Amino acid sequence: MADKKVTTDSGIEIKKVYSPITNQPITNIEQPGEFPFTRGIQPDMYRGRLWTMRQYAGFSTAEESNKRYKYLLANGTTGLSVAFDLPTQIGYDSDHAMSEGEVGKVGVAIDSLRDIEILFDGIQLEDITTSMTINSTASTLLAFYIALARKQGADIKKISGTIQNDILKEYAARGTYIYPPKPSMRIITDIFEYCANEVPKWNTISISGYHIREAGSTAVQEIAFTLSNAKAYTKAAIEKGLDINVFGQRLSFFFNAHNNFFEEVAKFRAARRMWAKMSKELGATNPKAQMLRFHTQTGGSTLQAQQSDNNIPRVTMQALAAVLGGTQSLHTNGFDEALNLPTENAARIALRTQQIIAFESGVVDTVDPLAGSYFVEQLTDEIEAAAWKYISTIDAMGGAVNAIEQGYMQKEIAASSYLYQTQIESTEKIIVGVNKFTSNDEINPPSFKIDDSIRLVQIDKINKVKSERDNEKVAKLLAQLKQDAKDGTNVMPCIIDAVEQYATLGEIADVFRNEFGEYRA
């Protein structure tokens, strides 16, 4: 009987058995911490320092999210990660008509510096690293954070964290864009420039494959499209006159950890090697500017509403793949997130999953423990080769921006998503509890929903802020911001000045809307 053909989710054929390709002397094997960093960016990896356990959280009001952050910190999380609601992500204050029904639903509602003051009440920004999943309005959220750090008396040259700030993947996969690509890229490079001088420890962008994968891409497409976007950002910064050996050290990446265990491990190893080569070709000579540092989140799209407890082993497997792949920080999803926002119990189990891997499994005791596996090494090579083919196609189209404007990435992701879904529906791909091993006695966990009354709370806060601030001063700063946007002056200093006077997020976004226009797909 002929062997059944088995492939990874990217369609790479998996052999029945793997053997060494060459008899490579052990002295020539690449070492961790050395170019091209396939085996990790640090010589000792987790033996020296564990990954940051950075649980993604944010919902309802700043007051409620602050309670969750303090709960996570008390339970051992080592970094904060802020989720924002949709109005915040697309530049509308909570009192805008477009915000109705969405305030505080998928993240915390942030309208002004007052909300940020409440969000981080009792948390010293010099003592914690904070990641903010925000893109179109990233400049404003960073300005809020810097303004609060100043109010706390912090040295902003010492504060550290990350803004996602990756607008290209929004056009390709996620959809929370506001402005057209070119002015959006300009704001991003303004942030690069400002932070290099003023906030040198801040990661100015988290180039995100996560949402590309959530939209239905394969693992190969995830890293190919992400690295193509990274190339576009890097070239834009170089054209602005910035030094890749400086800003390149503050680039970070964000990947998905999906279900195909070995493919995911190999994907992370291949991505690291590819970025080292790509950044070197773009002019990076400083090893720290050649290193691909990345955060990982377990796969949201892999969570199932049916038999939701099954999501706990799914998340565990995905988290382990991220750790074996050499991630620098990790978020593990709550098992109930296919149904609602994670309850405190689900958030605690998700964090404990990371802690058990870190402190009980022994996988942190040696660097890159899967190195030398005939299967993993060859799969790493094959994923890299397949990803370079995509990148070559995108390069031939003139780069990521052109490829997105022509719909290339979107079409490739859609085709992969369709294929994956048809494989599930035909049971060619088994999802336990969904298309096999189903059960009629479903027990759903406690629900956690956000009430629409949250919007009224936020509107009251906005009205209070506007009644107490110096509105004449705010108007002058917003007029200056419009002029800076028009004449090419770096917009960050004026945004910071404006938010310190309690200009709202929506007011700042409207300045850019009026100057740059809005993008229509």
Per-residue pLDDT tens over the stretch 265-301: 999 999 999 999 999 999 999 999 999 999 999 999 9
Confidence of residue 448 (pLDDT cuts 50, 70, 90): confident
Say what the pTM is.
0.91
Query: Average pLDDT, stretch 196-223?
Result: 96
CB 406 within 8 A of CB 396: no
DSSP H helical segments within 325-407, as ranges? 344-360, 374-396, 400-405
Q: Give the torsion sign (CA, 89, 95, 96, 98).
A: positive
Give the bridge partners for 55, in sequence order.
Answer: 80
Query: Average pLDDT, stretch 172-180?
Result: 94
Tokens representing 136?
């179109």
User: H or E element: which one contains 477?
Assistant: helix 471-487
- 443 class by beta-carbon count within 10 Å (0-12 exposed, 13-18 middle, 19+ buried): exposed
> Does residue 207 surpass a pLDDT of 80?
yes
Place of tokens 């009987």: 1
> Does residue 12 surpass a pLDDT of 60?
yes
CB 312 within 8 A of CB 302: no
Query: Average pLDDT, stretch 103-125?
Result: 96
CB 148 within 8 A of CB 116: yes
Q: Distance between CA atoms of 312 and 81, rounded to whole angstroms?
A: 21
DSSP H helical segments within 293-373, as ranges? 311-324, 344-360
The pLDDT score that the predictor gives to residue 15 is 80
346-362 b/e (C-beta count within 10 Å ≥ 16 → b): bbbbbbebbeebbeeee
Nearest to 186 by CA among 390, 462, 408, 485: 485
Cis? peptide before 36, omega within 30° of 0: yes
Query: Average pLDDT, stretch 355-384?
Result: 94
Tokens representing 159?
């504060």
Query: Average pLDDT, stretch 136-147?
Result: 98
Query: Average pLDDT, stretch 205-210?
Result: 96
Q: Give the torsion sign (CA, 409, 411, 412, 417).
A: positive
CA angle 208, 53, 169 (to 5 degrees): 10
Q: Distance between CA atoms of 81 and 55, rounded to whole angstroms?
A: 6
Nearest to 78 by CA among 328, 363, 361, 314: 328
Tokens representing 330?
């990790």
User: H or E element: which one contains 116?
Assistant: helix 113-119
> Does residue 5 surpass a pLDDT of 90?
no
Query: Average pLDDT, stretch 23-42?
Result: 80
CB 233 within 8 A of CB 188: yes
Q: Distance between CA atoms of 358 and 371, rounded to whole angstroms?
A: 19
Confidence of residue 444 (pLDDT cuts 50, 70, 90): confident
194-214 b/e (C-beta count within 10 Å ≥ 16 → b): bbbeebeebbbbbbbbbbbbb
The pLDDT score that the predictor gives to residue 23 is 53
The pLDDT score that the predictor gives to residue 30 is 84
CB 199 within 8 A of CB 246: no
pLDDT in tens, 33-45: 999 999 999 999 9
Give the bridge partners for 80, in sequence order.
Answer: 55, 130
Query: Average pLDDT, stretch 420-443?
Result: 92
The overall average pLDDT reported for the chain is 94
Concatenate the DSSP letters of all residues of 199-211 into one string: -TTEE-EEEE-HH
Q: Distance between CA atoms of 481 and 498, rounded to whole angstroms?
A: 8
> Does residue 3 surpass a pLDDT of 80?
no
126-160 b/e (C-beta count within 10 Å ≥ 16 → b): eebbbbbbbbbbbbbbbbbbbbbbeeeebebeebb
Listed in order, strand segments (DSSP E) in 83-234 are 130-132, 161-163, 202-203, 205-208
